[in-house]
């Protein structure tokens, strides 16, 4: 047996997002999107896993495992259900959650915005609304005042790159479902501005808080000729946000897979559109998010690709590539893996995913990269956006008919790593 030791104070956690677990988020844009007649969503979120009501027990489960961090989001649509009306009862709800985390020896890591917007704001254009930066600032001020000294780690906006591309550029199953380069760029600019404005408010109210963005990042690989398009796609979806994080306290890295850019497949689009947004859009849709079937082969057609329930390549080590990239672009910047996980019905695969992910990350610490923590996605099986409840990302299983929680072996596995601060590997 050999042990991979992690630095003292390493954050070991699991994550959720309000809309995916709380239930009945009725004032949000996602709620409306799920219920509209031509929705691309498989099913509505409904009562989700009732985390809004059941959080005391859920927090006890996470603490009982031995984790030391719980990353969750507070819900803008609940806190400000009508413009300018901040609901003290809801702020109090999140204050209680934070207090309970602390009492349970879980460091609360709070995300201010995880994909959802209040419906009234979405109706005004969402991330394209000219007032959204100011409104996000106001919202930040109320939340941070309410949570006071209780929260040290704040994530402003979750995966702005996914929001901008999915909702405004690529026309994904993501509200408002817009397409086009102008919308994409407009949303990107406002997300970045909102992040910076929010960070400034947090620092004004809580100078010692650690503030960062959480970024969706892929390990990228291109076959011969694909490199320019890979660089272009990566700069739009990742690097612009990393540049915006230059003055942040930490960078949150969220990696699920590897994107393979195949020049031969991109060729048709490229000759037609020569690195236009359209080409990138198609490339990303097919390579990163699309569920590939016939093309289940590497770019060179050599070996079949092992896939997760999401259709992504099973590639736990991708996270080391993305952490390394952040360290290269922002040397010395503290990094937290704020999401890393796999959708699978076979929990042994989750244990393998965690093991291989941590094995790939560990050498980076020895190299001096300031990796501060590992937060797994997700604490519980939950509402996977347009994919609904079929995708099993949880360390803890939830039977939605009874709302019963059942620990999976992977939960205990990660808990043991957290308690001992080491990963023990069997001799090979």
Residue 112: closest CA among 157, 70, 78: 157
Only one of the segments 155-163, 284-292, 328-336, 417-425 lies at the binding site for ligand BGC (rule: CB under 6 A); that segment is 155-163
Q: Hey, what are 129's tokens? A: 């609304």
The binder of ligand BGC chosen from 384, 389, 396, 411 (CB under 6 A): 384
For the bound state, the minimum distance from the C-beta of residue 114 to ligand BGC, rounded and expressed in Å, comes to 6
Cβ neighbors of 310 (< 8 A, separation 6 or more) are 256, 291, 343, 384, 387, 391
- Closest CB to ligand BGC among residues 104, 322: 322
Q: Which stretch binds ligand BGC (CB under 6 A): 49-57, 99-107, 158-166, 220-228?
A: 158-166
Write the interaction track for ligand BGC spanning residues 188-227; mark x where CB under 6 A is met and - where it is not.
----------------------------x-----------
**Sign of the C-alpha dihedral computed for residues 122, 124, 128 and 134 taken in this order:** negative
Does 159 participate in binding ligand BGC (rule CB under 6 A)?
Answer: yes
Distance in angstroms (rounded) separating the CA atoms of residues 238 and 78:
30
Site for ligand BGC in 252-311 (CB under 6 A): 254
Piece of 85-93, 157-165, 293-301, 412-420 that binds ligand BGC (CB under 6 A): 157-165
* Residues forming beta bridges with residue 422, ordered by sequence position: 5
Query: SS in 3 state form for 88-105?
Result: HHHHHHHHHHHHHHHHCC
CA distances from 43 to 233, 370, 388, 389, 390 (A): 31, 41, 5, 8, 10
- For residue 207, how far is the Cα from the chain centroid? 25
By CB under 6 A, residue 158 contacts ligand BGC = yes
CA angle, 77 then 17 then 134, to 5°: 40
Residue 377 interacts with ligand BGC (CB under 6 A): yes or no: yes
Q: Which of 22, 75, 80, 159 is labelled catalytic? A: 159
- Output 159 or 262, the one with its CB closest to ligand BGC: 159
Using Cβ positions, the residue closest to ligand BGC within the complex turns out to be 17
Nearer to ligand BGC, 16 or 68 (CB): 16
Binding of ligand BGC at residue 355 (CB under 6 A)? no
Give the nearer residue to ligand BGC in terms of CB position, either 146 or 336. 336
Select the residue interacting with ligand BGC from 339, 354, 395, 423 (CB under 6 A). Answer: 339
- Map residues 241-260 to x or -, x wherever contact with ligand BGC holds by CB under 6 A: -------------x------
Query: Which stretch in 156-164, 190-198, 290-298, 396-404 sits in contact with ligand BGC by CB under 6 A?
Result: 156-164
Q: Using the rule CB under 6 A, which residue among 17, 49, 101, 112 binds ligand BGC? A: 17
Residue 205 belongs to what H/E stretch?
A: helix 181-205
Instruction: State in angstroms the smallest separation of the CB of 84 from ligand BGC.
Output: 28
CB of 31 to ligand BGC, least distance (A): 15
Cβ count within 10 A of residue 349: 18
Q: How far is the CB of 85 from ligand BGC (least distance, A)?
A: 27
Q: Which residues have CB under 8 Å from 156's CB, separation 6+?
A: 111, 112, 113, 140, 194, 195, 198, 199, 202, 211, 212, 213
Q: 310-331: b or e for each residue (b if 16 or more CB lie within 10 Å)?
A: bbbbbbbebbbbbbbbbbeebe
Q: Counting contacts by CB under 6 A, is residue 162 touching ligand BGC?
A: yes
Shortest Cβ distance from residue 228 to ligand BGC (Å)?
26
29 near ligand BGC (CB under 6 A): no
Nearer to ligand BGC by Cβ, of 220 and 269: the residue is: 220
Which residue, among 117, 132, 43, has the nearest Cα to 80 in the 3D structure? 117
Closest approach of ligand BGC to the CB of residue 378, in Å: 7
Q: What is the DSSP letter of 179?
A: B
* By CB under 6 A, residue 22 contacts ligand BGC: no
- Residue closest to 151 by CA, chosen among 260, 45, 74: 74
Place of tokens 């102008």: 182
Helix 347-366 to helix 409-420 angle (10° resolution) is: 20
Residues in the interface with ligand BGC (CB under 6 A) total 11
Q: Does 49 bind ligand BGC (CB under 6 A)?
A: no
End-to-end CA distance of the chain: 9
Please say if 204 is a catalytic residue: no
Which is nearer to ligand BGC, 157 or 222 (by Cβ)? 157
CA neighbor of 393 nearest in space, from 349, 428, 356, 361:
349
Binding-site ranges for ligand BGC (CB under 6 A): 17, 20, 158-159, 162, 216, 254, 339, 377, 384, 393
Any idea which residues carry the catalytic annotation? 159
């Amino acid at each position: 047996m050999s042990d991979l030791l992690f630095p003292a104070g390493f954050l070991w956690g699991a994550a959720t997002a309000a809309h995916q677990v709380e239930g009945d988020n009725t004032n949000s844009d996602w709620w409306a999107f799920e219920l509209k007649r031509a929705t691309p969503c498989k099913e509505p979120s409904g009562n989700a896993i009732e985390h809004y009501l059941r959080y005391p027990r859920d927090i006890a489960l996470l603490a009982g495992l031995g984790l030391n961090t719980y990353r969750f989001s507070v819900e803008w649509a609940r806190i400000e259900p009508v413009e300018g009306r901040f609901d003290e009862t809801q702020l109090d709800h999140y204050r209680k959650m934070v207090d309970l985390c602390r009492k349970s020896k879980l460091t609360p890591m709070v995300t201010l915005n995880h994909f959802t917007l209040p419906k009234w704001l979405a109706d005004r254009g969402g991330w394209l609304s000219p007032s959204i930066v100011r409104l996000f600032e106001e919202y930040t001020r109320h939340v941070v005042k309410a949570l006071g000294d209780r929260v040290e780690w704040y994530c402003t906006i979750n995966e702005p790159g996914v929001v901008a591309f999915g909702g405004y550029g690529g026309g994904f199953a993501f509200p408002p479902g817009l397409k086009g380069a102008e919308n994409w760029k407009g949303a990107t600019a406002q997300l970045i501005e909102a992040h910076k404005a929010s960070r400034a408010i947090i620092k004004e109210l809580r100078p010692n808080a650690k503030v960062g963005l959480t970024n969706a990042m892929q390990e990228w690989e291109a076959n011969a000729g694909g490199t320019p398009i890979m660089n272009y796609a990566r700069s739009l979806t990742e690097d612009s946000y990393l540049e915006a994080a230059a003055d942040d306290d930490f960078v949150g890295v969220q990696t699920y897979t590897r994107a393979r850019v195949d020049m031969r497949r991109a060729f048709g689009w490229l000759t037609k559109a020569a690195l236009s947004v359209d080409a990138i859009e198609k490339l990303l849709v097919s390579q990163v998010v699309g569920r590939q079937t016939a093309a289940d082969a590497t770019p060179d057609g050599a070996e079949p690709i092992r896939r997760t329930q999401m259709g992504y390549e099973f590639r736990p080590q991708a996270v080391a590539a993305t952490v390394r990239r952040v360290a290269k672009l922002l040397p010395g910047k503290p990094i937290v893996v704020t999401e890393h996980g796999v959708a699978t019905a076979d929990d042994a695969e989750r244990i393998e995913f965690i093991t291989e992910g941590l094995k790939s990350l560990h050498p980076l610490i020895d190299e001096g990269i300031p990796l501060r923590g590992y937060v797994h996605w997700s604490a519980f099986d939950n509402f996977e956006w347009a994919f609904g409840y079929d995708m099993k990302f949880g360390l803890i299983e939830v039977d939605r008919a009874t709302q019963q929680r059942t620990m999976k072996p992977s939960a205990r596995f990660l808990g043991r790593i957290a308690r001992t601060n080491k990963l023990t590997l069997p001799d090979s």
